[in-house]
């Protein structure tokens, strides 16, 4: 699949000023300026994140109301229920808040809705459970901002809600006692991009201050916060960067028993990075909710005994193995259906449906299909008497608007710019598929159907050395709005020693101005003829450190190549 290359521009005047202030490589200064760190002070805060730079939790709208309501509940011996979603952000939020409250008050329990029996977010079943068991206060985490009717119902039956959420609010807010969400229009909190667990963290911080507890009472859960930040793909800027930085430090030095158990089962030997939380910890936690019941993820995170934590981790590990098997087999089936469809090459969308596919992995399968066929994708399966599915978008296209245009064929739908879910009647699948194709065809810019590689800057091999790489490492943790820098080196040639490995990948050996580098390009074997043409190439890559036989050498992690102009 061919890709578009987009090299980001730079402000030369600002780059020069920062270069003079920092006295570091000018290319690095260009990347810092592009990311908004264009002064010495901003760069200093970026490279040296401090917990003291976290904002006061009291700046968040309704924080005083939330704290007072919880303290009233404690003083009056009310029962508090901590309620959260079934994904990583929800389960880490619940695990940290539940443990924090249990350390100061005994009348606390938690509730995670079942993905298939109750659906996403606040559920009537959960509220009824609270009523039957005498809970008078529910603290919802990573959900609740859109649950106006259900929170009204809770209020009618004598249950108060404190909503901690980070999703975009509707015009009408639920009638909760307090709503903590920086994205509220009238919330003055300076940082708007916290995840659900991050909002819960700020509530624990405020409670600690009001009750004059040591900072350790909430900071001990910072490894769970970092896991949520990584998994929820929120911007790696501001407070998220600080929390992720110190959360990773805890993961590597003194993780909770649950994270430690997952690392052991995954065979982690080296230092953990954000990518490890995304690809090792998060899938195992999410698998619990996808394949079975996410409650066991909370049980894992709150477990203090290492042996018991290993038992819970083994359950999640097993769920993840089942998830991978389902994901793999369904992706294979879906690709086979696509290949048999003669009209598919002319379409701008992918819609596939099989009754027997596992509902818990259709979103993952949609993402896999986009890797192969880059277009807005919907994967549908049978769910009881209905058809349910997940949609995923290509970068830059508003999927939600396209789904909205097809609403006449749907029983229900929800989502955002990049992802959505829907339910419909089986007899409407074909009509929906045609309507979705029509909507996307009318709305999408054709260029968006060609994947784009964002390149930070062009660079010469002469600049690549260990000192340069060490500063790159100090830019971690990487994530949205602070991605691992991507470079392009122009007019590079093959040394004659590049080769295909394992039939799919290329082991690169290239040179520019007589400076040699080796590299690896995964799933790039189809590009190997370009290396054999003996013509200059432009090569897009990130910089990596290869460790072999106790030797460390810089290598290129190649993303794409093309013939130089």
Q: What is the pLDDT of residue 2?
A: 86
Q: Enter the tokens of residue 523.
A: 């799933």
H/E stretch holding 296: helix 295-302
Q: Which of 409, 431, 449 is the last residue of a domain?
A: 449
My answer on whether 270 and 377 are in the same domain is no
Let me know whether 257 and 272 are in one domain. yes
Gap between the Cα atoms of 347 and 437, Å rounded: 7
- Cis before 477? omega within 30: yes
Contact 80, 70 (CB under 8 A): yes
In this structure, is residue 333 part of a structural domain? Answer: no
CA 153/CA 156 separation, integer angstroms:
5
Q: How far is CA 315 from CA 276, 287, 319, 464, 562, in A?
A: 20, 10, 6, 44, 46
Q: What is the spatial distance between Cα 490 and Cα 563, in angstroms, rounded to a whole number? A: 9
Task: Among 283, 316, 349, identify where a domain stops.
Answer: 316
For residue 516, the model assigns a pLDDT of 96
Q: Does residue 458 sit in the same domain as residue 445?
A: no
Q: Going by DSSP bridges, is the β-strand pair 505-512/515-521 parallel, antiparallel, or unpaired?
A: antiparallel
Overall number of domains in the chain: 3
Q: Quick one: pLDDT at residue 293?
A: 84
Phi/psi for 18 (5° steps) reads -70, -40
pLDDT at residue 343, rounded to an integer: 87
Q: Are 397 and 448 in contact (CB under 8 A)?
A: yes
Predicted confidence at residue 131, as pLDDT, reads 97
CATH number at residue 457: 2.40.50.460
407 and 457 inside one domain: no
Specify whether 501 is located in the same domain as 412: no
For 196, the domain range is 57-316
**How many other CB atoms sit within 10 Å of the CB of residue 449?**
16
d(CA 242, CA 558): 30
Residue with tokens 């600690």: 208
Residue 270 lies in a domain: yes
Is residue 335 one of the residues assigned to a domain?
no
Q: What is the CATH number of the domain that holds 151?
A: 3.90.1640.30
Token pair for residue 38? Answer: 């264009």
In-domain check, residue 418? yes
Both 444 and 464 in a single domain? no
Residues 265, 412 within the same domain? no
Ranges of the chain with pLDDT below 70: none
pLDDT at residue 120 in the model: 77
Taking each helix axis from N to C terminus, what angle separates 222-231 and 257-265, rounded to the nearest 10 degrees?
Answer: 50
Is residue 518 in a domain?
yes
Residues 204 and 311 reside in one and the same domain: yes
Q: Are residues 126 and 153 in the same domain?
A: yes
Contacts of residue 260, Cβ cutoff 8 Å, sequence gap at least 6: 306, 309
* Residue 334 located in a structural domain: no
> Do 289 and 379 belong to one domain?
no
Instruction: Please compute Rg for the chain using Cα positions.
Output: 25
> Is residue 327 a part of any domain in this protein?
no
pTM value?
0.92
Q: Comparing C-alpha atoms, which of 294, 202, 281, 287 is closest to residue 248?
A: 281
pLDDT recorded at residue 441: 96
The two beta strands, 4-7 and 350-353, are unpaired
Same domain, residue pair 442 and 463: no
Residues 109-142 have pLDDT tens digits of: 999 998 888 877 899 999 999 999 999 999 999 9
Q: Which of 58-62's residues contact partners 24+ apart within 8 Å by CB, and which partners? A: 58/206, 58/209, 59/188, 59/189, 59/190, 60/180, 60/182, 60/187, 60/189, 60/199, 60/202, 61/179, 61/180, 61/181, 61/184, 61/186, 61/187, 61/188, 61/189, 62/178, 62/179, 62/180
Same domain, 191 and 223: yes
């Amino acid at each position: 699949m061919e890709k578009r290359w987009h090299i980001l521009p730079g402000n030369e005047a600002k780059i020069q000023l920062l270069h003079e202030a920092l006295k570091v490589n000018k290319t690095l200064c260009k990347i810092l300026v592009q990311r908004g760190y264009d002064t010495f002070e901003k760069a200093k805060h970026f490279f040296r994140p401090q917990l003291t730079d976290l904002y006061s939790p009291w700046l968040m709208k309704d924080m005083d109301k939330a704290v007072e309501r919880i303290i009233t509940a404690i003083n009056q011996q009310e029962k508090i229920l901590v309620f959260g979603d079934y994904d990583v952000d929800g389960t880490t939020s619940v695990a940290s808040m539940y443990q924090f409250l249990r350390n100061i008050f005994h009348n606390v329990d938690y509730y995670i809705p079942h993905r298939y029996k109750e659906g996403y977010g606040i559920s009537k079943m959960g509220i009824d459970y609270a009523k039957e068991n005498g809970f008078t206060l529910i603290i919802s985490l990573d959900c609740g901002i859109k649950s106006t009717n259900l929170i009204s119902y809770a209020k009618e039956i004598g249950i108060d809600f404190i909503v901690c959420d980070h999703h975009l609010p509707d015009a009408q807010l639920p009638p909760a006692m307090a709503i903590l969400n920086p994205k509220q229009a009238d919330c003055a909190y300076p940082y708007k991009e916290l995840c659900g667990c991050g909002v819960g963290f700020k509530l624990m911080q405020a409670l600690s201050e009001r009750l004059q507890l040591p900072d350790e009472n909430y900071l001990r859960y910072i490894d769970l916060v970092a896991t949520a930040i990584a998994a929820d793909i929120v911007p790696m800027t501001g407070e998220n960067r600080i929390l992720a930085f110190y959360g990773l430090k805890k993961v590597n030095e003194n993780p909770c028993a649950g994270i430690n158990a997952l690392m052991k089962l995954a065979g982690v030997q080296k230092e953990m990075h954000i990518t490890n939380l995304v690809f090792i910890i998060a899938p195992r936690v999410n698998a619990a909710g996808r394949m079975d019941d996410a409650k066991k993820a909370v049980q894992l995170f709150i477990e203090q005994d290492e042996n018991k934590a290993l038992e819970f981790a083994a359950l999640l590990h097993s769920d993840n193995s089942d998830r991978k098997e389902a994901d793999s087999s369904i992706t294979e089936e879906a690709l086979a259906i696509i290949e048999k469809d003669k009209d598919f090459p002319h379409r701008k969308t992918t819609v596939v449906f099989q009754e027997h596919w596992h509902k818990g992995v259709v979103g993952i399968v949609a993402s896999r299909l986009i890797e192969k066929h880059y277009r807005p994708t919907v994967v549908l399966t049978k769910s009881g008497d209905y058809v349910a599915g997940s949609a995923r978008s290509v970068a830059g296209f508003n999927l939600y608007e396209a789904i909205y245009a097809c609403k006449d064929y749907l029983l229900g739908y929800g989502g955002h710019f990049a992802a959505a879910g829907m339910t419909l009647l089986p007899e409407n699948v074909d009509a929906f598929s045609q309507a979705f194709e029509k909507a996307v065809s009318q709305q999408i810019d054709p260029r968006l159907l060609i994947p784009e590689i964002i390149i930070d800057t062009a660079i010469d091999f002469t600049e690549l050395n260990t000192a340069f790489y060490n500063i790159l490492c100090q830019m971690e943790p990487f994530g949205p709005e602070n991605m691992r820098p991507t470079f392009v080196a122009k007019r590079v040639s093959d040394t004659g020693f590049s080769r295909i490995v394992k039939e799919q990948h290329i082991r690169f050996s290239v040179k520019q101005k007589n400076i040699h580098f080796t590299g690896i390009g995964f799933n790039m074997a189809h590009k190997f003829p370009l290396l054999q043409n003996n013509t200059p190439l432009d090569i897009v890559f990130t910089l990596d450190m290869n460790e072999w036989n106790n030797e460390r050498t810089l290598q290129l992690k190649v993303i794409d190549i093309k013939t130089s102009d």
